[in-house]
Amino acid sequence: MIPTETVYGLGARMRDPLAVASIFRAKGRPANHPLIVHLHDLSQLGEIAASWPEYALELAANFWPGPLTLVLPKRSSVPDEVTGGLDTVAVRIPNHPLTLALLRELGEPVVAPSANLFTEVSPTRIEHLSPKLLDSVAMVLDGGPSEVGIESTVLDCTLEEPVILRPGSVGSQDIQEAIGLAVGTGGLDEKKKSPGHHPRHYAPQVTLHLTDEPLGDRPGLGFALPTTPFQICMPGGVPDFARALYDALHQLDRMGIQEAWIQAPPRTGDWEAVWDRLTRATHRV
């Protein structure tokens, strides 16, 4: 288990087929859900990607190390198991001193999905790690609470203009400002291109409802529970809310809460990544 600034990851050396296979097994993850390759230096990009547009380099210069994943045409040397058979590969340089040191020391690419069981909530602290997953790992690196708190923005960079496949803390506005190009939002085809995207994902055990009603008499966003006066108060701003979100969901589950309400955040563009996670966490199957 490795800490990153977004969420904890379940890491394996990209070129070790047994280790890569054990990631899918441990998470219960379908084999066609591609993994993100983690690097420590831009000079390694050529080992992974066959080509990249100029704007991808500008993005790397602006946001790496950081919570932005670029999807690029893959080199044939990247194992098919890693990309779920796709001809593209997702890559990022994470921004966490421990993991950067590990990657540097190791000197080779590491694949790392979020360290949660399939469809469950990603961990942002080691206390969130599932005992079932802990059974199958060799080592846990405790890097403290994740700074960003939600998974990286995944950006398709195989077209003339980039397209967001998974919203994250790096928003389309940030990307547009960095490269001076419009960002596509993607249609149905783009959804198909990112097979790891499920309507119900990041979902806690607790049944969660979104509500526009203010909860209780406390200001701000929060989780309210039906039977007790207990409430988790969430911070108001986007970065603070995102940082606290998964911890709150893990807390509700740990307490064995059956049902809870969360006050809907504003419906403005800066809340897009938070909305994406809340929509999935409250999706009924």
153 belongs to the binding site for Mg ion (CB under 5 A): no
Q: How far apart are CA 31 and CA 55, in angstroms?
A: 31
Using CB positions, name the residue nearest to ligand TXA. Answer: 196
Q: How far apart are CA 224 and CA 245, in angstroms?
A: 14
In angstroms, the Cα distances linking 180 to 69, 177, 183 are 18, 5, 9
Segment contacting Mg ion by CB under 5 A, of 69-77, 113-121, 142-150, 256-264: 113-121
Residue type for 11, please? G
Which C-beta is closer to ligand TXA: that of 233 or that of 275? Answer: 275
Smallest distance from the beta carbon of 55 to Mg ion, in angstroms?
Answer: 26
Which C-beta is closer to ligand TXA: that of 193 or that of 280? Answer: 193
The site partner of 216 among Mg ion, ligand TXA, none (C-beta below 5 to 8 Å per kind) is: none
Smallest distance from the beta carbon of 202 to Mg ion, in angstroms?
Answer: 8
Which C-beta is closer to ligand TXA: that of 191 or that of 218? Answer: 191
Q: 25: closest CA among 135, 154, 151, 180?
A: 135
152 belongs to the binding site for Mg ion (CB under 5 A): no
Asked whether 228 and 176 are in contact (CB, 8 A), the reply is no
124 belongs to the binding site for Mg ion (CB under 5 A): no
Among 6, 114, 152, 282, binds Mg ion (CB under 5 A): 114
Site of interaction with ligand TXA (CB under 6 A): 4, 6-7, 9, 33-36, 69, 71, 83, 86, 88-90, 94, 112-114, 151-152, 154, 165-166, 193-197
The site partner of 194 among ligand TXA, Mg ion, none (C-beta below 5 to 8 Å per kind) is: ligand TXA
The site partner of 34 among Mg ion, ligand TXA, none (C-beta below 5 to 8 Å per kind) is: ligand TXA
Which C-beta is closer to ligand TXA: that of 117 or that of 233? Answer: 117
Upstream peptide bond of 79 is cis (omega within 30 degrees of 0): no
Q: 10: closest CA among 92, 148, 126, 177?
A: 126
Smallest distance from the beta carbon of 97 to ligand TXA, in angstroms?
Answer: 15
Which C-beta is closer to Mg ion: that of 69 or that of 114? Answer: 114
Which C-beta is closer to ligand TXA: that of 166 or that of 277? Answer: 166
Size of residue set near Mg ion by CB under 5 A: 1
Phi and psi at residue 278, in whole multiples of 5°? Answer: -65, -40
DSSP 3-state of 111: strand
CB-neighbour burial class of residue 279 (10 A; exposed 0-12, middle 13-18, buried 19+): middle
H helix intervals, the chain: 17-27, 45-48, 54-63, 80-83, 97-106, 131-134, 172-179, 188-193, 238-254, 272-281
Smallest distance from the beta carbon of 62 to ligand TXA, in angstroms?
Answer: 17
Task: List the end-to-end C-alpha distance of the chain, in Å, as a whole number.
Answer: 29
Which residues lie near Mg ion (CB under 5 A)?
114
